[in-house]
Amino acid sequence: MGRPREFDADRAVHGAMEIFWRNGYVATNLPDLLNAMGLTRGSFYKAFKDKETAYLAALDRYDEAVVSKAVQALETCESDDPETCFSVLFSSSKDVRRGCFICNAMVELGPDNPSVAQKANAMAERLRKAILGVLVKRDVVGSAKNAVTTADLILHLYFGHQAIGKGGENLGDWQTHLHGLLGQN
């Protein structure tokens, strides 16, 4: 009979998410990852096959901790004003230099790692569908085709907003851009 785990798996995966989100996959070395996860090398390899397995678990945690909450907020938004609903996507975080973990994963590993690409694309699609739901429910863009196009544009605006933040730039007035996109006065 093996020894029981002597660490909190949720806390370890959360630590992995934080360091991968901030530093990226390549720039995160094993000692820093172990420190962030609060694990010894032996415990790490017993719980995770390798660094990539920990990264995939971190993406799953991001999906639970960030994407699912954003999707739920969009789906349950009661405001008639879509900009109010979309504020969940564009509100300032405490550490804008991290950007969006989905974007980071898509750019850094997505082209060469099908598992990462699949997870990142699935999260992006869930966000796109929730954005589309806000637009359709409020009938702010007319036809279904316009709603789909506008949802895609808002998702891209969100990803661009996050990428600019990661670069340290002022995130600007997203509401003005969104307001213009939605054609509201």
In tens digits, what is the pLDDT along the chain, a chain of 185 residues?
455 456 789 999 999 999 999 999 999 999 999 999 999 999 999 999 999 999 999 999 999 999 999 999 999 999 999 989 998 888 766 566 678 899 999 999 999 999 999 999 999 999 999 999 999 999 888 888 899 999 999 999 889 888 877 777 655 556 666 666 676 54
Give the start-to-end residue ranges of the domains of the chain.
9-182
Angle at which helices 51-62 and 9-23 cross, to 10°: 90
CATH class of 9-182: mainly alpha
Q: Which pLDDT does position 48 carry in this prediction? A: 94
Q: Which pLDDT does position 1 carry in this prediction? A: 45
Local structure of 78: helix, strand or coil: coil
Q: Which pLDDT does position 144 carry in this prediction? A: 86
- Cβ-contact 131, 86 below 8 angstroms: yes
Q: Which pLDDT does position 139 carry in this prediction? A: 87
Q: What pTM value is reported for the model?
A: 0.86
Q: What is the DSSP string of 137-177?
A: HHT-S-SHHHHHHHHHHHHHHHHHHHHHHHTT-----HHHH
